[in-house]
Amino acid sequence: MVKKVIESFEDLDVYQKLSELHLDIHRLTLTFPKFELHELGSQLRRSSNSIPANLAEGWNNKHINLYLEGINRALGELRETKHHLSIAYKKNYFPEEVYSKYVERCNECGRMLKGLERSLEKQKFTT
């Protein structure tokens, strides 16, 4: 297996998945009732966009702890996004199968972020 060369945060699989997740959530929120576009819809768009943004901000920082902090903030925004999705589902803005697919995508991205975090923690102690 050929190892993928990572030259930018944009090369990270998790960043790509998080960006796609945000774009899909953005489109989903545009189907919310009009009164929610600037309330719950806006919160969902902002939190889902902050996940890859925090990862990008921390990427390749010369201080690994700052990179880890970016990942930690991304994980926090991911939890917030899941909360907002849950509330939107409970308000019947989309069916359960849509909700389940988004939660699974969030969970997959969360596992990927935790894996990146573990990798950086190991690197921190070997350098």
pTM score of the predicted model: 0.91
Q: What is the pLDDT of residue 122?
A: 85
* Mean pLDDT per 10-residue segment, the chain (127 residues): 80 96 98 95 98 93 88 98 98 98 98 95 74
Q: What is the pLDDT of residue 1?
A: 63
Which of 44, 34, 110 has its CA nearest to residue 76? 110
CA of residue 116 relative to chain centroid, distance = 13
pLDDT 10s digits, 30-58: 999 999 999 999 999 999 999 999 999 99
Residue 116 near residue 14 (C-beta atoms within 8 A): yes
**CATH number belonging to domain 12-126:** 1.20.1440.60
DSSP H or E run through 92: none
State the average pLDDT for the chain: 93
Using DSSP, state whether 62 is helix, strand or coil.
coil
Question: Domain extents for the chain?
Answer: 12-126
Q: Which residue has the tokens 């545009």?
A: 30
